[in-house]
Amino acid sequence: NAGVTQTPKFQVLKTGQSMTLQCAQDMNHEYMSWYRQDPGMGLRLIHYSVGAGITDQGEVPNGYNVSRSTTEDFPLRLLSAAPSQTSVYFCASSKSTSGSRDTQYFGPGTRLTVL
Amino acid sequence: SQQGEEDPQALSIQEGENATMNCSYKTSINNLQWYRQNSGRGLVHLILIRSNEREKHSGRLRVTLDTSKKSSSLLITASRAADTASYFCATSRDSNYQLIWGAGTKLIIKP
């Protein structure tokens, strides 16, 4: 199993550009989530999904969209990039739909810089 | 909002010594999880301890949970250079699908 994969590993955007961060898992996990990690801070939840077709907002959803058309994929879209979105983004998955009650499996992260 | 707060923020010890880091949280929880993050990498799950458990072991790791004090500790015994990493606690509440994370403890093991 590849586990949780994320692409790209690095990305530089200009303010106002849009892009999609890709996340895929091959463990048939129901719960998937996106976090951002900023220096000196813990992870902050952006959006999460408890199954295909079901998404919800986390702590910091503004400026981001998600969709979950399949169990495997959970892309994160930045609508109009801003310098405040410069961060490292992690995708995670867990087996059960209760998500937070279960072990999280993380991808390697995407380091995004917005100029 | 951050539920978990790790203490200390940074810890530097000699190889072979034991390392202890603590996590405090504010509201009642369903479980508490510890993760390790090597520099520039994704997080790796270490231990999950449920609210009705007081202690769990995994290899050189020992986690305790005191729900009356709303705190947990992670002990790494006989530390190795490879244990150099940041360690995070995350808490799960019954009524919520979300994990709330602390800011982490940065552990440096000196050879």
CA distance B98 to B90: 10
Mean pLDDT, range A101-110, rounded to an integer? 94
Residue A99 reports pLDDT greater than 90: no
- Residues facing B19 on adjacent strands: B76
Question: A45: closest CA among A58, A29, A31?
Answer: A58
Task: With residue B62 as reference, give the H or E element that holds it.
Answer: strand B61-66
Structure tokens at B11: 């810890």
Instruction: Report CB contact under 8 Å: B35, A104.
Output: yes
Please give, rounded to a whole number of angstroms, the shortest distance from the CA of A103 to a CA of chain B: 7
3-state helix, strand, coil in chain A (%, to 5): 5, 50, 45
Mean pLDDT, range A20-35, rounded to an integer? 96
Share of chain A above pLDDT 70, in %: 100
- State residue B4's pLDDT score: 67
The secondary structure of residue A73, as a DSSP letter, is B
Mean pLDDT, range A2-22, rounded to an integer? 96
- State residue B81's pLDDT score: 95
Instruction: Decide: A12 and A115 in contact? Cβ < 8 Å.
Output: yes
Binning pLDDT at 50, 70 and 90, where does residue A82 land? Answer: very high
Residue B2 reports pLDDT greater than 50: no
Place of tokens 């087996």: A95
pLDDT in tens, B4-63: 688 899 999 999 999 999 999 998 898 999 999 998 889 999 999 999 999 999 999 999
- State residue A25's pLDDT score: 97
Residues 6+ positions from A26 with CB-CB distance below 8 Å? A1, A2, A3, A72
Instruction: Report CB contact under 8 Å: B42, A109.
Output: yes
- State residue B93's pLDDT score: 80
Residues 6+ positions from B94 with CB-CB distance below 8 Å? B28, B29, B30
Q: How many CA atoms lie within 13 A of B25 on its CB side?
A: 30
Mean pLDDT, range A42-70, rounded to an integer? 94
- Chain B CB contacts of A21 under 8 Å are none
pLDDT in tens, B73-101: 999 999 999 999 999 999 988 666 788 89
Q: What are phi and psi of A103, to 5 degrees?
A: -60, 135
Instruction: Report CB contact under 8 Å: B101, A43.
Output: yes
Site from B43, B56, B87 to mutate, A interface, most A CB atoms within 10 angstroms: B43
The residues of A whose Cβ lies within 8 A of any Cβ of B are 4, 31, 35, 40-45, 48, 50, 56, 58-59, 90, 92, 98-109
Interface of B with A in 50-79 (CB under 8 A): none
Give the CA-trace dihedral at A77, A2, A103, B20, to 10 degrees: -100
The secondary structure of residue A62, as a DSSP letter, is T
Mean pLDDT, range B100-105, rounded to an integer? 91
- State residue B3's pLDDT score: 57
CA distance A98 to A50: 7
Place of tokens 């072990």: A103
- State residue B94's pLDDT score: 67
- State residue B7's pLDDT score: 86
